[in-house]
A = this chain, B = another copy of it.
Amino acid sequence: MSDAFEITRLDDQGGKGFEKVFAFLRERLLAGSLKPGDRLIPERELAAQLGVSRPILREALRALTVLGIVEIRDRVGTIVRRPDISVLNDFFTFALSHRSDLMDDIVQARVAIECQSIRLAAERASVADLERLQAALRQIEETIDDVEAGGRADFDFHHAIVRASGSETLLVLYDSMSAVLMRSHLDRRHLVRVFDMRTYLIEDHKRVFDAIVGGNPEIADRSLREHFAIGDEFRRKLAIQGGRRADQPD
């Protein structure tokens, strides 16, 4: 355990044992003095130093494991982890099963990220980025009749845009939502059976690609928003027809 993990007895004001321990650990870990792979001191010692019982400490540690912040290894100790988006699966699975409105909301964040990404991509995409986008376009064409693979191909194209932004932060945020967005793409691919969307899927993705190559951030942004708007329109038509709800635009 790193010396940087300075233990102080928790003060007596406010909150219950768990809350104070959790907040303390969270802050200490956020302070950044511990790196992924570092091990915290043994539970018994940590609990004693923090002045709480071991089960309470364990509740706090367990909470941190669920957030992907640490990992408790049997008979080894508690190890600091690199944050991992897979922890979000449980949340999104639960959340979306109860609140379909959240999908629309998450898509706002998706739009935010992709539109800013495409602006950056128009300015700074590398040859490798463009090749990646081209490959994704080809994949969209090849999978036009396959719901599963097609949804995957759509996602890959959009992911490639975010990647082409060269922004680590935008990519982290986008990856955090990838499970939800994948689902969205799949649902939208089911619309292919209701409407003939092949032209839209193929041509419009190309149009977006051309806008990136064109190098003008505003035009690229606008082309992507138009792309989303068309997808929204298909969804609107389906809703008016009373058909099965498809969640989101491509």
With A59-B58, A66-B67 known as contacts, the answer to whether A91 contacts B87 (CB < 8 A) is: yes
Task: Count identical subunits in the complex.
Answer: 2
> A172–B100 contact, CB under 8 A?
yes
Partner of A173, one of B74, B83, B173: B173
Q: Name which residue of chain B comes closest to A108, CB basis.
A: B167
Query: B69–A32 contact, CB under 8 A?
Result: no
Q: Which of B63, B94, B106 contacts A30 (CB 8 A)?
A: B94
Chain B residues in 8 Å Cβ range of A112 = 112-113, 115-117, 170
In angstroms, how far is the closest chain B Cβ from the Cβ of A90? 5
The closest CB in chain B to the CB of A34 belongs to B98
A39 to chain B, nearest CB (A): 17
**Which secondary structure dominates where chain A touches chain B?**
helix
A contact residues, total (Cβ < 8 Å): 56
Cα A111 to Cα B106 with chains together (Å):
17
**Quick one: which of A30, A62, A69, A74 has the most chain B CB within 10 A?**
A62
> In the complex, are the beta carbons of B105 and A116 less than 8 A apart?
no
Complex: how many Å from CA A62 to CA B17?
A: 13
Chain B residues lying within 8 Å of A59, measured Cβ to Cβ, are: 55, 58-59, 62
| Contact indicator B83/A168 (Cβ below 8 Å) | no
Out of B26, B36, B87, B170, name the residue touching A98 (CB < 8 Å): B36
Map CB proximity to B onto A176-187 as digits: 1 under 8 Å, 0 otherwise: 100000000000
Is there a chain B Cβ closer than 8 Å to A231's Cβ? no
Q: Are B90 and A26 in contact (CB under 8 A)?
A: yes
Contacts of A90 in B (CB 8 A): 26, 67, 69
If the complex has contacts A85-B102, A105-B168, are A95 and B116 also in contact, measured as CB distance less than 8 A?
A: no
The answer on a CB contact under 8 Å between B115 and A98 is: no
B63 touches A109 (CB 8 A): no
Interface flags for A126-155 (1: CB within 8 Å of B; 0: not) read: 000000000000000000000000000000
Taking CB atoms, residues of chain B closer than 8 Å to A167 are 105, 108-109
* CB pairs A–B below 8 angstroms (16 shown): A30-B94, A55-B55, A60-B62, A66-B67, A68-B91, A83-B91, A85-B102, A85-B105, A87-B91, A95-B172, A106-B169, A108-B165, A108-B169, A109-B170, A109-B173, A111-B116
